[in-house]
Chains A and B, each alone.
Chain A
């Protein structure tokens, strides 16, 4: 067999040359395999190289995040210098009409408020819709699903996460929005219109509600698969303990499983929130893209991600561009914090509960 050298052996004093005569004195001849392995040396250099490469890979993540952060800070300086923290909560009030002008690139008035509002409203709406459904799916899959159905069902839920957001956006635009416009929204206005959250001023079917629904569908797989994971991490003995007390199936799930997994479930929900906050394409397509603030969920609005996607290419003035970057910076910071917090919670649960360890 020819010599195969993955790495050059570093110059080394003793093993190969020194041991050969010694070995020859005792045994007749070292075997081919032994000679081959001895010739490889101690492989210290290749080990070192591997370590350096991996550290560089890991460091690149930090570098990328830092560069993004740095760039966002630098690019948004203009707005920061002009409006400071007020950028996030005030509006320019038109002296003639006394109406607030949140976002007027032509006259140079910029405020992030309607976008923050739109992002928060659509995200929390999506949590409201997705969380019960996702937890329900997870409970069914871990606790009561017949084995035959489990694999296809969990595959389908995971598949939802793999669909590109533009597809969701198109589906929302051509299927969901007409459906809302014709059937759901009129019904909501009729039954819940008194609350002020549903009024019929917007005939398009677009708006916060439509984006909330599409976001709910998009974050459902994340929440349900993570919830499933933390529920599976609950030791079986906990379920038996509750069952032995005479619990029904629901009581067992509530006391023995959900209660023990609650921190992880909260983590899963926050992770879903993180995705909802940053989601751009699908939301841009259905939220209506008007920089206004409305109480009605059926009204048009805009979100932080949506305004950046919509206007960045057309932003001609420096101030306009800098305002958009500042919105991006705010979104960047919020999503990083939300995600880190969520991962921490999920990790806290799945690393092994104390009762299991004993």
Chain B
């Protein structure tokens, strides 16, 4: 089951570039939350701060607090254990090309030393079913490489890989931006189904996508969070002029 995320006074830098400024928000558990905003507004940096991927860049820096399930991930946890609880799906599908489909899904568990064959089979099947890929790949699980799938299938494979470690939070950084409309709608259906079991944070450029899948939406601009509210309110009656300008297409 998912857990809630509380972010307080989060600031992030890339070198001298202050990419996130004083972000405060509460992301509810077991819901999908969308983050929208123009390119470079800091929304990707924000999700990367939620699993401490931001700091894998040597020039990156973070201050503030992020509590996932009540536990401060910067104060009392190491990055590795956070990333075992918080799964992530990237903008471009990045399956492991040298591994079979099966090994791709099992990678997270195998990495952590999980070796029970029978249970591994079950987890792989369940994850692939959850990511709506099972029917397409069940016949060549161990025959085909992860890279042999189509772009949309690869992205669902990456979702299955993230789900296999049973995360409490699933971060998705523009998961459909590199995909065609059909694959995109499959991913969206998937998010819709998964959000009852996981806390999902999805970054997107596509405002219709935010409107379709998320209960809550946050609007980012120039490293600040301008508005965070229910998706319905953001898209029908935003309180901030800048949000209105953005969603009506006047800029961005």
Interface residues of A, Cβ cutoff 8 Å to B: 147, 235, 237-248, 251, 255-256, 259-260, 262, 353-355, 358
- A256 partner residues in chain B, CB cutoff 8 A: 96
Give the distance to chain A from B152, nearest Cβ to Cβ, in Å. 12
Bound Cα distance A240, B54 (Å): 10
Please state if B83 and A354 are interface contacts (CB–CB under 8 Å): no
Is B107 interfacial (CB-CB < 8 Å)? yes
Bound Cα distance A358, B58 (Å): 26
- B112 partner residues in chain A, CB cutoff 8 A: 246
Is B165 interfacial (CB-CB < 8 Å)? yes
A-B pairs with beta carbons under 8 Å apart, 21 shown: A237-B90, A237-B94, A238-B94, A238-B96, A239-B56, A241-B94, A241-B158, A244-B83, A245-B84, A245-B165, A246-B82, A246-B85, A247-B80, A247-B111, A248-B80, A251-B111, A255-B96, A259-B98, A260-B96, A355-B95, A358-B92
Give the distance to chain A from B52, nearest Cβ to Cβ, in Å. 9
- B84 partner residues in chain A, CB cutoff 8 A: 245-246
Give the distance to chain A from B102, nearest Cβ to Cβ, in Å. 15
Please state if B94 and A259 are interface contacts (CB–CB under 8 Å): no
- B93 partner residues in chain A, CB cutoff 8 A: 358
Give the distance to chain A from B123, nearest Cβ to Cβ, in Å. 13
- Do A241 and B90 contact each other (CB < 8 Å), given the known contacts A147-B58, A246-B165, A260-B96? yes
Bound Cα distance A249, B215 (Å): 36
- A246 partner residues in chain B, CB cutoff 8 A: 80-85, 108, 111-112, 165
Please state if A242 and B111 are interface contacts (CB–CB under 8 Å): yes
How many A-B pairs with Cβ below 8 Å?
A: 77
- B151 partner residues in chain A, CB cutoff 8 A: 358
Is B97 interfacial (CB-CB < 8 Å)? yes
Q: A246-B85, A246-B112, A247-B80 are known; give 8 further A-B pairs, CB within 8 A.
A: A235-B94, A241-B90, A244-B162, A245-B111, A246-B84, A246-B111, A247-B83, A353-B97
Is B87 interfacial (CB-CB < 8 Å)? yes
Bound Cα distance A256, B80 (Å): 15
- B82 partner residues in chain A, CB cutoff 8 A: 246
Taking CB as reference atom, which chain A residue is nearest B84? A246
- Tell me the residues in window 180-213 of chain B with beta carbons closer than 8 Å to chain A beta carbons: none
Taking CB as reference atom, which chain A residue is nearest B165? A245
Identify which of B80, B90, B111 contacts A255 (C-beta below 8 A). B111
Is B35 interfacial (CB-CB < 8 Å)? no
Bound Cα distance A237, B93 (Å): 9
- A260 partner residues in chain B, CB cutoff 8 A: 96-98
Over the window 105-116 of chain B, the binary record of Cβ atoms lying under 8 Å from chain A Cβ atoms (1 yes, 0 no) is 001100110000
Please state if B97 and A244 are interface contacts (CB–CB under 8 Å): no
Bound Cα distance A355, B154 (Å): 10
- Ranked nearest first, the 10 interchain pairs of A and B with the lowest CB-CB distance are A246-B84, A245-B108, A244-B88, A237-B94, A246-B83, A241-B94, A355-B97, A355-B147, A251-B111, A259-B98
Give the distance to chain B from A147, nearest Cβ to Cβ, in Å. 7
**Interface residue tally on B, bucketed by range:** 20 to 34
Bound Cα distance A244, B163 (Å): 12
**Residue with the greatest number of chain A CB neighbours at <10 A, chosen from B90, B97, B162:** B97
Is B216 interfacial (CB-CB < 8 Å)? no
Bound Cα distance A243, B87 (Å): 10
Bound Cα distance A260, B162 (Å): 20
Is B51 interfacial (CB-CB < 8 Å)? yes
Please state if A240 and B90 are interface contacts (CB–CB under 8 Å): yes
Give the distance to chain A from B120, nearest Cβ to Cβ, in Å. 15
Give the distance to chain B from A126, nearest Cβ to Cβ, in Å. 28
- A239 partner residues in chain B, CB cutoff 8 A: 56
- B41 partner residues in chain A, CB cutoff 8 A: none
Give the distance to chain B from A34, nearest Cβ to Cβ, in Å. 45
Bound Cα distance A251, B112 (Å): 9
Taking CB as reference atom, which chain A residue is nearest B87? A244
Please state if A240 and B53 are interface contacts (CB–CB under 8 Å): yes
Is B161 interfacial (CB-CB < 8 Å)? yes
Identify which of B53, B83, B94, B162 contacts A355 (C-beta below 8 A). B94
Bound Cα distance A243, B112 (Å): 12
Give the distance to chain A from B185, nearest Cβ to Cβ, in Å. 20
Identify which of A237, A242, A245 contacts B92 (C-beta below 8 A). A237
Over the window 144-171 of chain B, the binary record of Cβ atoms lying under 8 Å from chain A Cβ atoms (1 yes, 0 no) is 0001000100100010011001000000
Bound Cα distance A238, B80 (Å): 16
- B99 partner residues in chain A, CB cutoff 8 A: 259
- B80 partner residues in chain A, CB cutoff 8 A: 246-248
- B81 partner residues in chain A, CB cutoff 8 A: 246
Taking CB as reference atom, which chain B residue is nearest A354? B147
Bound Cα distance A88, B51 (Å): 62
**Residue with the greatest number of chain B CB neighbours at <10 A, chosen from A245, A248, A251, A260:** A245
Please state if A244 and B53 are interface contacts (CB–CB under 8 Å): yes
Please state if B56 and A243 are interface contacts (CB–CB under 8 Å): yes
Bound Cα distance A244, B87 (Å): 6
